Amino acid sequence: MEDFLEQLAESDVREPPPDFNRRLHQRVNRTLVVQQIVDFLVGAIVWSAAHFFRATFAWLLFTVTGRFPDRDRR
Partner 1 sequence: MALDLVHCTDEQLAAEAARESSDGPAFVALVERFRARVWRICFRLLDNEQDAADAAQEVFLRLFLHRTRFAGRSKYATWVHAIAVKTCLAMRRSRGRRRRHENIGSEDQWEARQPARPSVPQGLSMDLLEMLETLDEEDRALLLLKYAEGYEYEELAGIFEISVSACKMRISRAREKLQSRFPES
For partner 1, which stretch binds (CB under 8 A), given 6-14, 41-49, 58-66? 6-14
**Residue 70 binds to partner 1 (criterion: CB under 8 A):** no
Q: Least CB distance from residue 40 to partner 1, whole Å? A: 15
Q: Compute CA distances 67 → 54, 55, 60, whole Å.
A: 14, 13, 10
By CB under 8 A, what part of segment 16-35 binds partner 1? 16-17, 20-21, 23-25, 27-29, 31-32
- Classified as helix, coil or strand, 19 is coil
DSSP at 5:
H
